[in-house]
Copies of this chain bind each other. A is one copy, B any other.
Amino acid sequence: MPTETPQPAFVLVNPQMGENIGAAARAMWNFGLDRIRLVAPRDGWPNQSAVAMATGAGRLLDEAQVMQTTAEAVADCTFVMATTARNRDLTKPIYAPEQAMKIAHERIAKGEKVAILFGPERAGLENPDIALANAIISVPVNPKFASLNLAQCVLLTAYEWQRHAVEITQETVELAGGQWATQTEVQKLSDHYEERMETAGFFFPEHKADSMKLNLRNLWSRMPLTQADVRMLHGVMRQMVRWKERGD
Residues of A within 8 A of B (CB): 26-27, 29-32, 55-57, 87-96, 98-99, 139-142, 145-148, 152, 155-156, 159, 162-163, 166, 168, 170-178, 193, 196-197, 199-202, 215-216, 219, 222-224, 226, 228-229, 232-233, 235-237, 239-244, 247
Contact = CB atoms under 8 A, between A and B. Distances in A.
Contacts of A202: 235-236, 239
Copies in the assembly, this chain:
2
Given A219-B229, A223-B224, A145 B200 contact: no
B247 A201 contact: no
A216 B239 CA distance: 14
B247 A171 contact: no
Nearest to A172: B94
Given A140-B162, A147-B56, A174 B89 contact: yes
